[in-house]
A and B are shown apart, each in its own frame.
Chain A
Amino acid sequence: MTEALTQTAPSNGQPLLEVKNLRMYFPVTQGIVLQRRVGEVKAVDDISFSINQGETLGLVGESGCGKTTTGRCILQLTRPTAGQILFDGEDITKYNNEQLREVRKKIQVIFQDPYSSLNPRMTIGQIIGEGPHVHKITTSKQETESRVKELLALTGLPTDLHSRYPHELSGGQRQRVGIARALSMNPSFIVCDEAVSALDVSIQAQVINLLEELQEKFGLTYLFIAHDLSVVRHISDRVAVMYLGHIAELAASRTLYELPLHPYTQALLSAVPIPDPVVEAEREHVILGGEVPSPLNPPPGCVFHPRCPIATDICRSEVPVFEEKRQGHWVACHHALSERNLAAIEGGKGQAQ
């Protein structure tokens, strides 16, 4: 096991958030009256990473791999089974409710679904103004109102929107309201969970640009969760690739594309079509067989081995350690630096150019 690993993937600068050996196991029960515990879903199984002040870390992976669960643990919406979450150097998993209330102002979230995350009975002004009012960031009605107007302007929304209701807004506008609400608390860290995934591409680009502008303006730090690798790579400084509760690979965005050391990352990159028919005609498509196994009953050894083209005996029995194989480049694969793997990466490149 990788229990001994306490280092986290470093990069230059000061970490604002450090996740160490995080585990989140959900119990699976049977029976209605007398619930018996029959197993557990290892939604997140020993992951470690850090995010620097002002940085965007992308978190990608396929459905059910544990992205949202990771975000919810950081937000302390679920108490993790094990592991530490250091925010500004302090382990927030040890916080009491009073301390949590304080730190939650600093850690905000933007959800995927702008339709269901906004209370349909509240006006846009009430939705955005609620946090500052409750937490006494603003002290009078007028102050709250002017704060709301400021936030609407900041997120590119017309200020007369404050008296309207969510159903009267377009998807892109609702997502901006979600962003304005997150900003209302003057956070330093925002978890963006599929924040642009439901939007059409033209609107998606508007929201991505807005997130980038706000980051620059306020020095915000983002954990950007999404399944669209192109979007994640675009917005992130570094990217972590998750598979079945584990981090398979973590590297700078550019490195991840140019030198993907984990076979899963390679397959994921290859599966994403590039919007350019000339490039696509030249590219080699490595199609991964099979499907993601159930997290209720994950494969032994490396969780990726049943689908891995270069798996050997060791992969079927030993969990690979998530370690720094090259500078700033973390990989959990027994064969990351094997000749065969490096040749495969080179081969894929040759095809792509």
Chain B
Amino acid sequence: MATLLEIQNLHTRFYTQGRVIKAVDGVSYGIDEGETLAVVGESGCGKSVTALSIMGLIPWPPGRITEGQVLYRGQDLLSMNAEQVRQIRGKEISMVFQEPMTSLNPVLTIERQLTETVESHVSLTKKAARQRAVEVLTQVGISDPERRLSQYPHQFSGGMRQRVMIAMALICNPNLILADEPTTALDVTIQAQILELMKELSKQYGAAMILITHNLGIVARYADRVNVMYAGRIIERSTAREIYGNPKHPYTLGLLNSVPRLDETVKKKLVPIEGQPPDLGADTPGCRFLPRCRLGDPQTCGGEFPPLIEVSPGHWSACFKFDQVGKVAS
């Protein structure tokens, strides 16, 4: 499969209260046409900031992309002019946010919000745009779409608003959908409805999807490949089966041991990762996971940051001791 989007050595920083927060600290990954790629990691590790950087939505002040490239079909989005970028963002690349109320305008009808995007990007007539709006609303499972078009966001339930967000993301036939925790705020039966819908429609549209989540179950159910993030970096990458079945980073293993499984037959004691995630504003040398790691030692891991290397075909790990992960009793 051809690479659709390639992020290279991305650095995004926030300058606040005299401190520099390295929210994204050298992230590189690619996504192929049509695939579903997950980015998983705990709160504050830089998942959203990575997505916002791709979309050019980092607010300055306080944030800025300081280094790196975001290549969309070979062209760097970060060095394009505003008009070129506008043609791609929102049309070929669209985004679904965690909280639909922050991205839906409360004083505009659903129709206005849906048609605005198509009219500005694909120059459809008003009538054609409306028709397209009805079409996508139907696809996302909203009944009586004609009537719904004249309503406002507050007249929709949380699950329905999320469907509208998805409709908005699909209306221009995107090639890539960035879905940032698209169902985190929803109940699990609604979450399942929405995720099935997104899977179905991304397949139908042939769109690739970057699925950002902290839920390891969702990743297991929907993702082809997985990037595990910790403290602003990708620390492991592989297929979902490899990541879960044969993790090569102690943080990944730690995450897997932390979550209770619905299908556990005998009760297993959870093995938490001790300590706290690091302060992204502190400049500590070496591996950022070292203070919480059961495997690491300052001699091996306290000097330079372990680079992300290919430890077996298609499986990448940023750990000097990758070959001992899961082997020693921990």
Contact = CB atoms under 8 A, between A and B. Distances in A.
A27 to B, nearest CB: 23
A113 B277 CA distance: 19
Nearest to B271: A205
Given A63-B187, A277-B244, A201 B262 contact: no
B89 interface: no
Nearest to B224: A277
Given A209-B269, A274-B217, A257 B262 contact: yes
Looking at B187, B193, B219, B269, the one whose CB has the most chain A CB atoms below 10 A away is B187
Contacts of B43: 200
B196 A285 contact: yes
Given A62-B187, A230-B262, A231-B260, A273 B217 contact: yes
A278 interface: yes
Contacts of A291: 157, 159-160, 190
A229 B188 contact: yes
Contacts of A274: 217, 220-221, 261-263
Interface in A255-295: 257, 267-280, 285, 287-289, 291-292
A279 B255 contact: no
A279 B244 CA distance: 11
Contacts, number: 130
B254 interface: yes
Contacts of A208: 260, 270
B191 interface: yes
Nearest to B191: A271
A334 interface: no
A82 interface: no
A277 B241 CA distance: 6
Interface string A91-111: 000000000000000000000
B260 A233 contact: yes
A292 B43 CA distance: 29
Contacts of A227: 187-188
Interface of A: 62-63, 170, 172, 200-206, 208-209, 227, 229-231, 233-235, 254, 257, 267-280, 285, 287-289, 291-292, 352
Given A269-B262, A278-B245, 4 more contacts: A200-B214, A276-B261, A287-B192, A288-B192
Interface of B: 42-43, 157, 159-160, 187-193, 196, 214-223, 240-241, 244-245, 254-265, 267, 269-274, 276-277
18 contacts: A62-B187, A200-B43, A201-B258, A202-B42, A205-B272, A206-B272, A230-B260, A231-B260, A234-B267, A234-B270, A271-B188, A273-B221, A276-B261, A277-B220, A280-B217, A285-B196, A291-B157, A352-B263
